[in-house]
């Protein structure tokens, strides 16, 4: 299963979203992000893995004892490093819509990739765009220069990012378009669904790229396409 999840990162998130509907045999799957994220893909096509979730804040200095904050930060890294891989770090910035604290930059992209995390999804802030670790994609809510008082507030809990509710351990696929949660019940057939989707798309794309393509050829191809697609 883990090898298959890794293989899904070669496809973009719209393809996975469409393939889920093919696997389910109907349109209307709604577990995807809303809005327009910013991203640094760092050479990756996409990220896909089991969600490791956390919440953070940074607008105001924490009121907890500094030793508690430090211990929770270490617990966070231990949590990111454990369990089944591949993993995707999903962080909800609870300061939204006024997020200002960049958790993601040169240091954390290097650390998380080193711990085996395949990428990060957050409604919060990223920085150091030219210095992110190669191969570690980040999909975020905004870009900013400062970490301010950034600190982890909770671990391993349900989070909401771009209006998408995500629970720990759910399979998340994300790229510059946003993210989807892949239902576990479609995983056994998702590979075939992707093949079916890509084959059906060629019913239109193939003729459209050939010399002499016109409305008559489109009508003929579209009839076949409509019969084949979900």
For the domain that residue 140 is a member of, what is the CATH number? 3.50.30.40
Decide if 66 is inside a domain.
yes
* Residue 214 and residue 104 in one domain: no
Decide if 6 is inside a domain.
no
Q: How many domains does the chain have?
A: 2
Decide if 150 is inside a domain.
yes
* Residue 37 and residue 73 in one domain: yes
Predicted pLDDT of residue 1? 77
The residues that bridge with 175 in the sheet, in sequence order, are 178
* Residue 56 and residue 110 in one domain: yes
* Residue 138 and residue 206 in one domain: no
Could you give the angle at the alpha carbon of 185 between the alpha carbons of 35 and 224, nearest 5°? Answer: 75
* Residue 55 and residue 149 in one domain: yes
Q: Cβ distance 137 to 120 under 8 Å?
A: yes
* Residue 136 and residue 196 in one domain: no
Residues 6 or more apart whose CB falls under 8 angstroms from that of 221 comprise 203, 204, 207, 208
Judged by DSSP in three states, 24 sits in helix
* Residue 61 and residue 131 in one domain: yes
Predicted pLDDT of residue 230? 59
Is the bond leading into 97 cis (omega within 30 degrees of zero)? yes
Predicted pLDDT of residue 84? 83
Predicted pLDDT of residue 229? 72
Mean pLDDT by runs of 10 across the 230 residues of the chain is 92 98 95 97 96 98 96 98 93 97 98 97 98 97 97 98 98 98 97 96 95 95 85
Domain housing 136 = 31-182
Predicted pLDDT of residue 227? 85
* Residue 97 and residue 61 in one domain: yes
* Residue 163 and residue 217 in one domain: no
* Residue 52 and residue 116 in one domain: yes
């Amino acid at each position: 299963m883990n090898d298959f999840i890794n293989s899904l990162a070669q496809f973009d998130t719209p393809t996975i979203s469409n393939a889920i509907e093919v696997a389910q045999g109907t349109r209307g799957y709604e577990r995807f992000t809303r809005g327009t994220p910013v991203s640094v893909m760092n050479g990756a096509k996409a990220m896909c893995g089991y969600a490791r979730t956390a919440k953070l804040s940074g607008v105001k200095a924490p009121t907890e004892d500094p030793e508690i904050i430090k211990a929770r930060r270490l617990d966070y890294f231990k949590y990111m490093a454990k369990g089944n891989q591949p993993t995707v770090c999903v962080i909800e910035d609870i300061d939204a819509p006024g997020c200002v604290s960049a958790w993601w930059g040169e240091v954390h992209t290097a650390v998380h990739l080193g711990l085996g995390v395949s990428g990060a999804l957050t409604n919060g802030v990223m920085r150091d765009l030219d210095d992110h670790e190669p191969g570690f994609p980040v999909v975020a809510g905004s870009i900013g220069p400062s970490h301010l008082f950034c600190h982890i507030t909770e671990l391993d809990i349900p989070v909401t990012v771009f209006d998408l509710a995500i629970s720990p351990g759910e399979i998340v696929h994300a790229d510059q378009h946003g993210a989807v949660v892949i239902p576990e019940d479609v995983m056994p057939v998702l590979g075939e669904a992707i093949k079916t989707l890509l084959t059906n798309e060629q019913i239109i794309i193939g003729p459209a790229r050939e010399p002499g393509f016109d409305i008559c050829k489109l009508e003929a191809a579209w009839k076949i396409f409509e019969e084949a697609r979900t």
